[in-house]
Amino acid sequence: MLAASLGEDYQIDLFDHRSSLNGDGYGLNIQPIAVTELAGLGLLSRLCSLGIQTRAHRYLSSDGQQIMEEPRGRFAGEEMPQLSILRHDLVSILLAQLPGSCRIHTSATITIEDLERWDRQSPAPYDLIVGADGINSVTRTYTVGATALHDGGMTLYRGVADFPKMLDGETFILVTADDGCRLIAYPVSAPIARSGSSRINWVLLVPDRVYEGQTPVLGESQEAVRRILGPLIGNWTLDFLDIEAMIEKSPTIKSDRLRDRDPINQWSRSRVVLLGDAAHPMYPIGAQGASQTIVDAACLAGAIKTEADPFIAIGEFVSARLPQTNNVVLANRKMNREELEHVGTASSTRSEKFRTTTSNYRQAVRDRTRPHSSSVGHNTIER
């Protein structure tokens, strides 16, 4: 995203540890704030041809009872849609936008020593070094030192499955069971939708207490994972979705812990600056990770284009984005905690509690000042 935003006027070297930049096959939910930035690059039509414009978020209990529903994106009056899309489709769109001046280095391992040399060498090989290397960022360690992971006390299981059309084919569902397990599922492919079906991206969040204090070991075999998940959703009854079949039809199920890191007050060291999960890893609660990374990239690109001095550009970027994203990290934690507190409450009050939680979340992460953005739009973060 950063390279695509900067264009041909800048020489860029992009390093990635993977052998290919195609991305994985799981889904992303892109909020209108980030779609605005992508649209500023002329990508909206292509995005809409591959992704789903999410119509609504529907909250349900595990017996299929609707708790509440909220319109999203353009259906809620936003100028831009909320888009659900496969990660590799988004990556392919961005790769097609890379300027010819961008050199890609795959299967590359960047070390602390590399960063130290690039940062201090004279003359410097790079005016600016951007670390977008994820939650286990080496660049973050170089920039601010080691910081501990914060564990959210649950395991995430993620998959993608092709299925008959789910609801209207445009609805994002959030299902909460009385034991605290939660399912998030949403269609992610417009081409599949045009065939009358849904390609469903799903995430099942399982609290550790469900395992009677035993934290499951990650990286288990696919057969073992499916055996774990079966009993967890065995008594769920959604008349529009066979969850057991969805799990069975998912070619690969990925497992990981719910993790983030405590907010920090420094994202840079000399000419090195952090971006995305390297700077502010956050819970997927709120569906903000990818969106905030996109906005980061647009803001940094705007600062670079505006300020000839890279050190001033870094300062402008960090001062604009650090307080905003730190706020989102904490708001995601709070919403996760509150949603779990609503488990088991009477159905007559659950809707009110969820509405209050989601409304408070939107208010907590709302901001309307985004300096140096690559495009103009209202900066409202939604869940």
* Residue tagged 């264009």 (tokens): 7
pLDDT at 13: 95
Residues 6+ positions from 111 with CB-CB distance below 8 Å: 138
pLDDT at 319 over 80: yes
> What is the DSSP code string of 203-231?
EEEEEGGGGTT-PPPTT--HHHHHHHHHH
Q: Which tens digits make up the pLDDT trace of 243-295?
A: 999 999 999 999 999 999 999 999 999 999 999 999 999 999 888 999 999 99
Averaged pLDDT for residues 376-383: 36
Q: Is 111 helix (H, G, I), strand (E, B) or coil?
A: coil
pLDDT at 92 over 90: yes
Instruction: Show the DSSP H helices in the chain as ranges.
Output: 2-6, 32-39, 44-50, 87-96, 112-120, 138-144, 190-194, 222-232, 243-249, 289-306, 310-341, 347-365
Strand-pair partners of 367: none
pLDDT grade for 214, boundaries at 50, 70 and 90: low
State the architecture of 2-54+83-149+261-365 in CATH terms: 3-Layer(bba) Sandwich (3.50)
pLDDT at 368 over 50: no
pLDDT at 85: 98
* Domain locations in the chain as residue ranges: 2-54+83-149+261-365, 150-260
pLDDT at 377 over 60: no
| Cβ-contact 95, 20 below 8 angstroms | no
CA 217 to chain centre: 24
Q: What angle do CA 171, 177, 178 make, to 5 degrees?
A: 150
d(CA 66, CA 60): 4
pLDDT at 372 over 70: no
Averaged pLDDT for residues 187-211: 95
Per the prediction, the chain carries an average pLDDT of 90
pLDDT at 344: 73
pLDDT at 356 over 80: yes
Sheet of 197-207: strand order equals: 66-71, 56-61, 171-176, 182-187, 197-207, 149-164, 254-261
Q: Is 242 helix (H, G, I), strand (E, B) or coil?
A: coil
Q: Which fold has domain 150-260?
A: D-Amino Acid Oxidase; Chain A, domain 2 (3.30.9)
pLDDT at 369: 37
d(CA 29, CA 158): 14
d(CA 262, CA 293): 17
Q: Is 96 helix (H, G, I), strand (E, B) or coil?
A: helix
| Percent of the chain whose pLDDT exceeds 70 | 94
| Cβ-contact 148, 261 below 8 angstroms | yes
